[in-house]
């Protein structure tokens, strides 16, 4: 218990020391080197396979050679193969979560190896709904990240603060602790398989959205934390997405910010017209 307490104290102290420092201005942001990444998370939707295929087909039709970035959908397990076939390579298909085990007596579990055998190479980890509704700990999320990476897959690691933590000014500390715990054991080379999604929990499914300025500030902090954990090259190459009630009305302002490399979209990804507009966001000058 004393060892665990010492480790936790060290992590908190490290996060706190990072917060009190002024924002790092030693590094330019290389947005041009980071291709935008627009992703959708369907959660427990839609209801039927037919609806899933129709929705995925509509979204794929919105992707063209002129679309500014990569596009991915994270969808329920039963629809993976049929949706993968429907999008015909225009959209990357991933799973919404994994079980950090290769096999065994884990009823309801789905391993990375199972997904990989189906051609699925991406999955989410650490989404706030999995953290709160399913009680997934930082240690479990770390195990998921490592399992995906070690099996040659890619992970979108979700982090973010609650409304209470936001109002108490703990955003930077929460992000630092989650990044350091969830990426423990991930090497600089393996970070090429990691995308970060910052999702303020108070903005998910509420219709509230952090202003582009708030989101940019947090994304910059996250990039500085990654630079502190690894180095500036790893931080500059890592794509950091914003999630939290992203809409056609908010996407252009968000994507204009230098440290926002894409979006993780919930509700709007269930509407092919709305999500198509987000995929084809318009570049605006700051």
One of 121, 127, 161, 219 is an active-site residue; which one?
Answer: 127
As to burial, measured by CB atoms within 10 angstroms (0-12 exposed, 13-18 middle, 19+ buried), residue 116 is: middle
* Contact present, 203 and 209 (Cβ < 8 Å): yes
One of 140, 161, 199, 219 is an active-site residue; which one?
Answer: 199
User: Residue 145 and residue 107: Cα distance in Å, rounded?
Assistant: 20
Known active-site residue 150? no
Known active-site residue 127? yes
* Contact present, 254 and 283 (Cβ < 8 Å): no
Instruction: Report, as residue numbers or ranges, the catalytic residues.
Output: 127, 199
């Amino acid at each position: 218990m004393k060892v665990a307490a010492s480790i936790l104290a060290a992590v908190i102290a490290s996060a706190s020391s990072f917060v009190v420092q002024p924002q790092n201005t030693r590094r330019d942001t290389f947005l041009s080197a980071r291709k935008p990444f627009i992703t959708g998370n369907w959660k427990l939707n839609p209801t039927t396979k037919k609806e899933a295929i129709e929705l995925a087909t509509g979204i794929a039709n919105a992707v063209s050679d002129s679309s500014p970035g990569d596009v991915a959908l994270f969808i329920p397990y039963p629809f993976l193969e049929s949706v993968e076939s429907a999008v015909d390579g225009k959209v990357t298909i991933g799973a919404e979560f994994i079980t950090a085990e290769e096999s065994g007596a884990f009823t309801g579990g789905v391993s990375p190896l199972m997904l990989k055998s189906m051609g699925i190479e991406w999955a989410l980890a650490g989404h706030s709904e999995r953290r709160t509704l399913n009680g997934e700990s930082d240690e479990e999320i770390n195990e998921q990240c490592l399992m995906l990476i070690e099996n040659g897959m890619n992970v979108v690691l979700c982090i973010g603060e609650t409304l209470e933590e936001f109002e108490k000014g703990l955003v930077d500390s929460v992000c630092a602790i989650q990044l350091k715990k969830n990426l423990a054991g991930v090497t600089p080379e393996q970070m090429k398989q990691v995308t970060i999604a910052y999702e303020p929990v108070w903005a998910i499914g509420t219709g509230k959205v952090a202003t582009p300025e708030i989101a940019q500030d947090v994304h910059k902090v996250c990039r500085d934390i990654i630079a502190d954990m690894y180095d500036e090259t790893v931080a500059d190459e890592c794509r950091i997405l914003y999630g939290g009630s992203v809409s056609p009305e908010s996407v252009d302002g968000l994507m204009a910010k230098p440290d926002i490399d894409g979006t993780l979209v919930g509700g709007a990804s269930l509407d092919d017209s709305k999500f198509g507009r987000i995929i084809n966001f318009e570049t605006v000058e700051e």
